[in-house]
Amino acid sequence: MSRNRTAVGFLLVTVLFGTSFPAIEVGLRYFPPLVLGALRYFLSGAVLLGFAVATSSHWLPASRRDWAAVGAGGVLFIGGTGFTFIGQQYVTSGVAAILVSLTPVLTVLFGWVLLPEERLSRRGGLGVAVGFFGVALVLRPSPASLFDAAVFGKALVLLATVLVTLGTILVRRARATLPIPALTGWAMLVGATAQLVAGLARGEPLALPADVGAALATVAYLGILVGAVAFGLYFWLLERVGALEANLVTYLTPPVTLVVGRVFLAERVDILALVGFLVIAAGFALLKERELAAQLARYRGPGR
């Protein structure tokens, strides 16, 4: 029964994260990018903080480490996703999801640089290089396409991925004592505020569109189901199965996004970008070869 619950949780997180990119594409029909991001994270943050208040007495940042984690999480981890919202104006949801799948590779690289306890072996360095080669296949920059809108959009999504990953590492480095729902909720409110201020500075209008029902439904899906429920389930998976298996969600998300984008948004599947995704996944496999082999051996069991 416990394994079934874990499998259901894994499936739900994968589907919710996988549909978030197409949902952003839909949301961009109604709101400008940074306003959309701000609305999403204000709602997500409110839900998570409400949960934290209801389930814990420790939900207010109380130390310098707590505030450092909230700041890094808000400005980089959440605020940085604003570049994804802007970038998705120029690229399909599937390409955005593929670029975000570089996150586990970047996590190892930034952890090696910024966390004293982290180590990067020679094989790990090869895995990082392979991962970045996969990104190059997705970006495909050239002098002729340097100022192409699609390349610009991909670069923005990649920048968001770098900032988000850096934010997660700095949050870990801060070693805050806040429970994860409270920390994430506060970070979301900080990031939403940063995105709203940046959006207004860019001249983005803060107004409801004509189709209010569909617009608010999209924000509710992104804010409640993807932003609060999926994050909560992901943290639950981290506690139950560990970071390695939970991070595999990152590599199951793009196929879901590609299928949903193709079926519901008629998005074209970029074959070379798909190859790039497989190369990125291969880079992760090189980075975590021993851990993955150990997990496979554990699931096979003795004598199998």
Which of 298, 181, 173 has the alpha carbon at shortest distance from 236? 181
Beta strands in the chain (DSSP E): none
Rounded to a whole number, what is the largest CA-CA distance in the chain?
64
Band (pLDDT 50/70/90 cuts) for residue 301 is: low
121/60: higher pLDDT = 60
Give the pair of three-digit tokens for residue 80: 């940085």
CB atoms near residue 68 (< 10 Å): 17
pLDDT band at 1 (very low <50, low <70, confident <90, very high): low
Distance CA 261, CA 93 (A): 6
For the entire predicted model, the pTM comes to 0.92
Give just the sign of the alpha carbon dihedral 140, 99, 244, 13.
Answer: negative
What number is the average pLDDT over the span 192-202? 98
Q: Mean pLDDT throughout 210-220?
A: 96
Q: Is the pLDDT at 8 greater than 70, yes or no?
A: yes
The predicted structure's pLDDT at residue 121: 84
Question: How far, CA to CA in Å, does 52 sit from each of 168, 178, 179, 189?
Answer: 20, 10, 8, 14
* Other beta carbons less than 10 A from residue 71's beta carbon: 18
pLDDT digits (tens, 9 = 90+) for 64-97: 999 999 999 999 999 999 999 999 999 999 999 9
